[in-house]
A and B are shown apart, each in its own frame.
Chain A
Amino acid sequence: MALTTGPADAIAARSGRLSPAQRRIERWRFLPWVFLAPALVIYSVVVVYPMLYSTYLSLFRWDGVAPKKIFVGFQNYVTLLTHNEVFWIALKNNAIWLLAALLVPTSVGLGLALMLNSRFRGSHIFRSIFYFPAVLSLAVVGLIWTWIYHPDLGLANQFLDAVGLKIFKRNWLSDPQIAIYPVILAATWNAVGLPMLLFLAGLQTIPPEMHEAAKVEGAGPMRRFVYITFPLLRETTLIVLAITSINALKAYDIIYAMTNGGPANRTQLLSTWMYFLTYNYNEVGLGTAIAVVLFSLTLIFAIPYIRLMTRKV
């Protein structure tokens, strides 16, 4: 169906009426909505409605079962900020997690990508090996590392024993001062694969001629990285940072698998504490208030990411 303009359209334009072609466009204007409708309905039911309902519930005191919800306004938020010690522990852990996620998996992923981008014998095998942890679910990663950290039977302490470094042996997951860091290390092992893959894809879009020209001009590897590679990876870096931050804020299952938020709630994150309050302690108002806080924090990283991804070229 061709929608070309012709003499009839020109006449219609002059008279202010719709031309036949415009009428045809007008008739099909609703079509995109028809195609979008199934996805929109599902998205509204399983994402938008629960989100709005959670925000609504955060204004009530409710145990999740009783027929009556008591409206308390913003009291749940005040309680979280002033009376809930674990909320602050969880927020601090989220901040540490986020910082670690922004620094470690991204820089290690970039380093690996730079190494694996140069073609050498077996580079494909190494790509698969380094990407492998990323295909495991965080629950499985949690189980593997829980055994590595087992105080008596785990690889970490037995290895330290074997190499004569007994002094560094720890109860990795039960020392409240350090317990969050071994969990972050386990999550990092899983998180390196994706940045590595994205950086590899980004590196392959850089024309080799640029490096060759720079070499001819006498630029060494470090100068080429600083003045060519890194600037041209700007967009990839932004995407990696955004995805890594969002994933860090979403972290939940690995904590559940490795420490269950313990010992004594010292490894809670906002996501796990939200679950504990809502489902274990029946404090639905407090739990959903954390959900709103977590959602707002995630938006800080999600909005620039979405804008970047949907930007018209």
Chain B
Amino acid sequence: MTIFYKKSLFDKFGIPEPKTFDDLEQACAKLKANGIIPFACGGKFSWMTMRTTDFLIEHFAGPALHDKLFAMEESYNNPAVIQAFTKLKEWVTKGYFNDGFISLDPNESLPLLFQDRAAMTFQGPWIEDQNVIPAHQDPNDYIPIIAPADQKPVRVSGFQEQIQFWAKSKPDQQKAAMLFAAFITTPEVAKKHVSEFGSPSAVVGVFPSADRPITTAMVKWLQSGVQLYLPTDQALPQEVVNAFFQAQDSMILGSLTPEAACAQIQKAVEDYKASH
């Protein structure tokens, strides 16, 4: 998952594609000054807002600390995390998200992009087939960029879809399932059935069809070494994720300071560790 920008709007206001975090903030400021909402977001279920929070943590904390937070080996009271939450609050205050985004369904935020009211969104490659093409939008106008966290190694938020086998199945069935998995991930088969298996494919050299520019672009940079960090809701236990969502949303609504929000998440981490 990463930041998508609408090329036609960026071109209209002479904004270059953001390559660094500073570029991104400058783009937001310029869009806002021109009456365009920088980010279309639907925060009703909290996970769409979380993508931006995760990106800000990746930017301020860096990959090593970010991974330690996920392993619950580092405190959420760390100044880098507080900085990330403070930045999120700053962006909300500056109006970089659509009005009332905190209670909007993610799908209810997308018309803002389609109607040229918003210029960016934090989404995954599925936006191409599920939203952009069905809404008769030109997929070439929606450009995914490597969200500029200014860190090394370069990472974006993401997760792998996995094939799961039933552990209690018979050994010969498990063996057959493994053979099947190996078969469908051979380059020839994966290439032939890429549309059925879904994209981006994990098989090197397998690209979507030419009429899928968004997914193709993402596959290209994933296959050229861009790494992934898990989204918070997949990296942490459910109890901690709940506290994260509650703290993040409460901070956005102004009932918690960034420091208090981080302390609340850390308390959930400690409670979880104490009870497991």
Residue numbers of A with Cβ under 8 A of B are 146-147, 150-153, 171-176, 179, 259-260, 262-265, 280-282
Q: Are A174 and B102 in contact (CB under 8 A)?
A: yes
Nearest Cβ in chain A — how far from B112, in angstroms?
6
Q: Are A174 and B103 in contact (CB under 8 A)?
A: yes
- Tell me whether B105 is interfacial, beta carbon within 8 Å: yes
Bound Cα distance from A150 to B102, whole angstroms: 11
Interface size class, chain B: 20 to 34
Contact sample, A vs B, 23 pairs, CB 8 Å cutoff: A146-B108, A150-B108, A151-B98, A151-B99, A152-B99, A152-B112, A152-B117, A153-B112, A171-B100, A173-B100, A173-B104, A174-B100, A174-B103, A259-B103, A260-B44, A262-B102, A263-B249, A263-B253, A264-B102, A264-B250, A281-B238, A282-B238, A282-B239
Out of B44, B46, B100, B238, name the residue touching A172 (CB < 8 Å): B100
Q: Are A260 and B45 in contact (CB under 8 A)?
A: yes
Q: Are A179 and B103 in contact (CB under 8 A)?
A: yes
Nearest Cβ in chain A — how far from B230, in angstroms?
19
Given known A-B contacts A176-B255, A281-B238, A263 and B103 have beta carbons under 8 A apart: yes
- Tell me whether B111 is interfacial, beta carbon within 8 Å: yes
Q: Are B238 and A265 in contact (CB under 8 A)?
A: no
Q: Are A262 and B46 in contact (CB under 8 A)?
A: yes
- Tell me whether B199 is interfacial, beta carbon within 8 Å: no
8 A Cβ contacts from B88-118 to A: 98-105, 108, 111-112, 117
Nearest Cβ in chain B — how far from A265, in angstroms?
7
Q: Are B239 and A151 in contact (CB under 8 A)?
A: no
Using Cβ atoms and an 8 Å threshold, which residues of chain B touch A280? 238, 242
Out of B101, B239, B253, name the residue touching A264 (CB < 8 Å): B253
Q: Which residue of B lies closest to A283 (CB)?
A: B239
Using Cβ atoms and an 8 Å threshold, which residues of chain B touch A175? 100
Using Cβ atoms and an 8 Å threshold, which residues of chain A touch B44? 259-260, 262
Given known A-B contacts A260-B44, A262-B249, A265-B246, A150 and B104 have beta carbons under 8 A apart: yes
Given known A-B contacts A153-B111, A172-B100, A264 and B238 have beta carbons under 8 A apart: no
Residue numbers of B with Cβ under 8 A of A are 43-46, 98-105, 108, 111-112, 117, 238-239, 242, 246, 249-250, 252-253, 255
Bound Cα distance from A151 to B46, whole angstroms: 18
Question: Beyond A179-B103, A282-B239: 18 further Cβ-contacts under 8 Å?
Answer: A150-B100, A151-B99, A151-B100, A152-B98, A152-B112, A153-B111, A174-B101, A174-B102, A174-B253, A176-B253, A260-B44, A262-B102, A263-B43, A263-B253, A264-B102, A264-B246, A264-B253, A281-B239
Q: Which residue of B lies closest to A261 (CB)?
A: B44
Using Cβ atoms and an 8 Å threshold, which residues of chain B touch A260? 44-45
Using Cβ atoms and an 8 Å threshold, which residues of chain A touch B250? 264
Given known A-B contacts A150-B108, A174-B104, A281-B242, A264 and B249 have beta carbons under 8 A apart: yes
Nearest Cβ in chain B — how far from A72, in angstroms?
13
Bound Cα distance from A184 to B83, whole angstroms: 38
Bound Cα distance from A146 to B106, whole angstroms: 13
Bound Cα distance from A152 to B99, whole angstroms: 7
Between B98, B105, B239, the greatest number of chain A beta carbons within 10 A of the residue's beta carbon is seen for B105
Using Cβ atoms and an 8 Å threshold, which residues of chain A touch B100? 150-151, 171-175
Q: Are B253 and A146 in contact (CB under 8 A)?
A: no
Nearest Cβ in chain B — how far from A173, in angstroms?
4
Using Cβ atoms and an 8 Å threshold, which residues of chain B touch A153? 111-112
Bound Cα distance from A263 to B104, whole angstroms: 10
Nearest Cβ in chain A — how far from B22, in angstroms?
28
Q: Which residue of B lies closest to A281 (CB)?
A: B242
Q: Are A146 and B242 in contact (CB under 8 A)?
A: no
Using Cβ atoms and an 8 Å threshold, which residues of chain A touch B242? 280-281
Bound Cα distance from A299 to B143, whole angstroms: 57
Q: Are B112 and A262 in contact (CB under 8 A)?
A: no
Q: Which residue of B lies closest to A173 (CB)?
A: B103
Nearest Cβ in chain A — how far from B39, in angstroms?
13
Using Cβ atoms and an 8 Å threshold, which residues of chain B touch A179? 103
Q: Which residue of A lies closest to B112 (CB)?
A: A152
Bound Cα distance from A147 to B105, whole angstroms: 10
Using Cβ atoms and an 8 Å threshold, which residues of chain A touch B117? 152
Nearest Cβ in chain B — how far from A281, in angstroms?
5
Bound Cα distance from A104 to B137, whole angstroms: 44
Bound Cα distance from A219 to B249, whole angstroms: 59
Bound Cα distance from A146 to B100, whole angstroms: 12
Using Cβ atoms and an 8 Å threshold, which residues of chain B touch A259? 44, 103
Using Cβ atoms and an 8 Å threshold, which residues of chain A touch B112? 152-153
Q: Which residue of A lies closest to B275 (CB)?
A: A61
Nearest Cβ in chain B — how far from A148, in angstroms?
12
Nearest Cβ in chain B — how far from A237, in angstroms?
36
Bound Cα distance from A179 to B103, whole angstroms: 9
Bound Cα distance from A153 to B43, whole angstroms: 16
Q: Which residue of B lies closest to A267 (CB)?
A: B103
Bound Cα distance from A280 to B253, whole angstroms: 22
Bound Cα distance from A255 to B129, whole angstroms: 29
Nearest Cβ in chain A — how far from B260, in angstroms?
13
Between B45, B99, B111, the greatest number of chain A beta carbons within 10 A of the residue's beta carbon is seen for B99
Bound Cα distance from A147 to B111, whole angstroms: 12
Using Cβ atoms and an 8 Å threshold, which residues of chain A touch B43? 262-263
Nearest Cβ in chain B — how far from A117, in angstroms?
40
Using Cβ atoms and an 8 Å threshold, which residues of chain A touch B102? 174, 262-264
Q: Which residue of B lies closest to A177 (CB)?
A: B253
